[in-house]
Structure 1
Amino acid sequence: MRFALNFAWLSLVAGATATSYDGYQVRRVKTGTQLASVKQKLSTISHETWDRVHGHWDVLISRDQIGAFNALGLNARTLHEDLGHSITKEAHVKGSWKRQSNHTGGDDPWFDSYHPYDDHVEWWQELQKSFPQNSNWTSSGTSYEGRDLFGVHLWGASGPGKPAVLYHGTVHAREWIAAPVIEYIAKQLIDGYKAGDNVTQAFLNKYDFYIFPFVNPDGFIYTQTNDRLWRKNRQPPPAKARNQTCIGRDINRNWETNWDATPRGASPNECSQTYRGEKPRDAPENAGLDDFARKLRDSQGIKLFIDWHSYSQLILSPFGHKETLYAPELGKWTKAAALVSEAIRDGSSNATTFTFGPSGAVLYPTTGSAPDHLYTIGRAEFSYTIELPDFGDFGFVLPPERIRPAVEEQWIGQQVLFSLLDEEFFDETGPAIFTI
């Protein structure tokens, strides 16, 4: 495989055209039961929300606001002392690559650093070509800027057409770790199948895998050339919008299911990071993904859907829009997630712990989200969001040396999950919520 260092990518490293975060800090504020008080204090200074995680509020503080933040007296610790330095370290690309066909198992150096978008596309093209009798290149449409929403379809013995396992990755552009995780899982499936591994062959013989690693390619490229922390797609605001400078829709708030539910888990403000759009599916990325999912529903059926995100180490199931609304399938979703979490904790080098449960109860309200839609409209039997590492020491800017542990532990978890998809594993006559 030929890997050329992309000049647009290098501009991010050099800061030539990119938003500079030099001297910015990311602080983790403990909220506990004092969320309202913390929000009130933070409202007195200029800051950006980085994320909300397990009783904490992670915030981005500019150089000129650090003193004002310190004066608030909040219970906080520093995650990034200099975010600009962390981004430069993260974006370092190792210079020489061999064809991936020379690497099997865990020795592929691809998983030791991050990569430009064009190299990801080439990597996937070569992976698909290495498995020509049991795969094809597929697409769910095009992005706002006209990029192919490409995917790879994998199958085993007796050809395609079995129940589907559907993966979506890089929904939020800044969540770089999602793509390597999906890539590692796909490579393990193919390498294991070709090597005659009975377990891997059983997975591919029973399910078709549809893997879409970049459902927000425009946003991902923008994080590599302009703003490392960009989240949304790159679609302009509606013509009637007051502020015509605010770009992008949140692809994970633009799905039809519960799009306008209350309490609201998305924003009607085009400048918000969670802007839901004017109506469901008005992001071209969502329209294409939704059409693809409905076709799978009506043909093969969807056994498992996973929307891969970062960060905070969570395995989340529907529903997201209400804290106390539970689906009838919650029992088996929770039992499966608990066993996946246990396998990752016991089998990973970092003993990583994943918390699990309904999204609205475990995280915070979200409306118009993919797992809810793929469950209600796509009729996926299992539907999850997996929030990848870490818990918050690095957040979105996960160092390259943390890629390999993250991808390896997800393969451990996915093998357990695939083995649990059979109906006979679950006692459907039991209670809706299991105690694990």
Structure 2
Amino acid sequence: MRFFRAVLLIAPLVVGVQVDRRGREIYDGYKVFRVVTDDGELADFEAQLESMSAIELSRNRGHIDAHHFDIAVPPESLDAFEALNLEAETLTEDLGADIALEGELQPFPGLETGVSGISAQAGAALPSFSWFSAYHPYADHLTFLRSLQAAFPSNSELITAGTSFEGRTIQGIHLWGSGGKGSKPAIYYHGNVHAREWITSMTVEYITYQLINNYSNDTAVKAVLDNYDFYILPIVNPDGFVYTQTTTRLWRKNRQTRSGTSSVGTDINRNWPYQWSGAGSSTSPGSETYRGAAPGDTPENTGIRTFGDQLGAGKGIKLYIDWHSYGQYILTPYGYSCSAKAPNQSKQDTLARNTGTAIAAVHGTRFTTGQTCSTLYATAGGSNDYFTDVTKAEIAWAIELRDTGTYGFTLPANQIIASGEESWAGQKYLWANF
């Protein structure tokens, strides 16, 4: 593909970051392009991304021997970018306009009124369902979790899984059924490991809400809570998440600083201490997929890993899901290898396909399913590989939520409930059939 040689001949474009009156970066006029490359040019293009003014948003293996990158290009660089005559599709004409569709962050809306919901198990009322009509500040997510726990006091507790680099507690909730606390195998969910993927924490919270709300009136929900303990951490990268709300909406990594470099942040999901140094992660601290200086050397990874290891050593982990966006994928192991297969790969493949069918039945949203490496791209040091081979979870997936690139990470708030509804349907199928 001749056009990448042209890219490498162009001097890096230096563009001043524009900020609003609150110090948040502005993306008005940025365009998002999907650029196609082949395997032979991939390394050159990956290196070039760091020196271009474009922001890498996503990548996908695509069809055989080809990859596509979704990149956001600032208005000052559009003429130079378009002059390259790349094989590129325009996904978004104005990224700033898309971000505006997310709406302003809304405070915690309070508790439901006139809803009995969970009957005898209930303490306080559940949080208002209007929570799912908007995105919210980080502190309000903590209030939401506390309110969920207060509504289900005999069958839940707040949990923590370590502390972030900047000192924030990684907060979650533990739910159980009639068997009692900690008596059953675990279902373990992580959300927002990548800071900019706001839909993930909202979707994980939707599932948590529905588990509590339906425990007393849905036999399928009662069955799964009576047979498994849920450990749910909606935001496992709190520092990065806060940074996306206050400064840089498209920030991905944590906020860890390191000696010897001015670059900030490590990709927590390339930092797992298993198959850490392979393809799909970077040794460059400035890269979006920087894996760290050593396996497991981020405090966030240490916290959620230690918690998961304890679950695995206890009653075991039936299901682990690392929730991501975007792309609409259900990804089974492995990411580090396109040829390795999990011991129960056939079962996982069947469950993934059928979970995708259950999701699509709600709103018609189609999810692609398959092994991470061969379906999406190589991901050395990833969570579902670690949970498969080290923690010995029976099923360990990564799920990439809505959409396929129209809005990407900046999914409008009016799609939160739909994402929750279809994900809930998929999980109910999975719980009943695994």
TM-score, normalised to structure 2's length? 0.87
Alignment of structure 1 residues 31-180 onto 2, 5 Å: 31=37, 39=45, 46-53=53-60, 54=62, 55-93=67-105, 97-100=109-112, 108-160=129-181, 161-180=183-202
User: Cα distance 1:35–1:379, how it changes in 2: closer, same or farther (>3 A)?
Assistant: same
| Partner SS for 2:337 | coil
User: Quick one: which of 308, 320, 329 aligns to 1:314?
Assistant: 329
Per-residue CA deviations over 1:112-134 (Å, capped at 9, x if unaligned) read 11111111110110001100000
SS in 2 for 1:303: strand
Indicate the residue corresponding to 1:4 in structure 2.
none
Size of the aligned set, in residue pairs, is 401
Q: 2: CA distance between counterparts of 1:40 and 1:168?
A: 28
Structure 1 residue 367 displacement after superposition: 0.8
Q: 1:213 aligns with which of 234, 241, 258?
A: 234
CA offset digits 1:41-75 (Å, max 9, x no partner):
97796422211133532111011111122222234
Residue range with higher mean Cα deviation, 52-61 or 285-294: 52-61
Report the CA distance shift for 1:166/1:313 in structure 2 as closer, same or farther (over 3 A).
Answer: same
Following TM superposition, the consecutive aligned residue runs of length 4 or more in structure 1 with deviations greater than 3 angstroms are: 12-15, 30-46, 93-96, 100-107
Report the secondary structure of 1:348's partner residue.
helix
User: How much does 1:77 deviate?
Assistant: 3.0
CA drift of 1:406 comes to 0.8
Across the aligned residues of Structure 1 and Structure 2, the Cα RMSD in angstroms comes to: 2.4
Answer yes or no: is the 8 Å Cα contact 2:332–2:370 preserved in 1. Answer: yes
Measured after TM superposition, the shift of residue 35 of structure 1 is 6.0
Counterparts of residues 244-259 of structure 1 (less than 5 Å): 245-259=262-276
- Is this contact kept in 2: 1:13–1:87, CA < 8 A? no
1:27 to 26, 30, 33: 33
- Alignment-mate amino acid for residue 32 of structure 2: V
Asked if 1:343 is matched to 2:358, the reply is yes
Q: Structure 1's 19 and 302: CA in aligned 2 closer, same or farther, altered over 3 A? A: same
8 Å Cα contact 1:45-1:69 kept in structure 2 = no
1:382 aligned partner? 395
1:315-359 deviation per Cα after TM superposition (whole angstroms, max 9, x unaligned): 1111101222222211011000010011111x222x111111111
Unmatched segments (≥5 aa) in structure 1:
1-11, 422-436
Secondary structure of the structure 2 residue equivalent to 1:149: strand
- The answer to whether the Cα contact below 8 Å between 1:259 and 1:280 also exists between their aligned partners in 2 is yes
Aligned to 1:405: 418
Q: Which residue of 2 aligns with 1:425?
A: none
Q: Which amino acid aligns with 2:56?
A: T
Output the CA distance in 2 between the equivalents of 1:40 and 1:232.
Answer: 17
Matches within 5 A, 1:354-365: 354-365=367-378
The answer to whether the 8 A contact 1:297-1:378 is kept is: yes
Match in the other structure for 2:319: 304
Amino acid at match of 2:55: E
Unmatched runs of 5 consecutive residues or more in structure 2: 1-17, 118-125
Q: What letter is aligned with 1:251?
A: I
> Is 1:279 matched with 2:300?
no
CA gap 1:94/1:14 in 2 versus in 1, 3 angstroms: farther
Partners of 2:431 and 2:380 lie apart in 1 by: 28
Q: Tell me the distance in 2 between the aligned counterparts of 1:379 and 1:371.
A: 10
2: CA distance, partners of 1:15 / 1:151:
33
CA distance in 2, matches of 1:36, 1:276: 19
Residue type of the partner of 2:197?
A: E
Q: Per the alignment, do residues 292 and 13 of structure 1 end up closer, same or farther by CA in structure 2, a change over 3 Å counting? A: same
Q: Which amino acid aligns with 1:51?
A: S
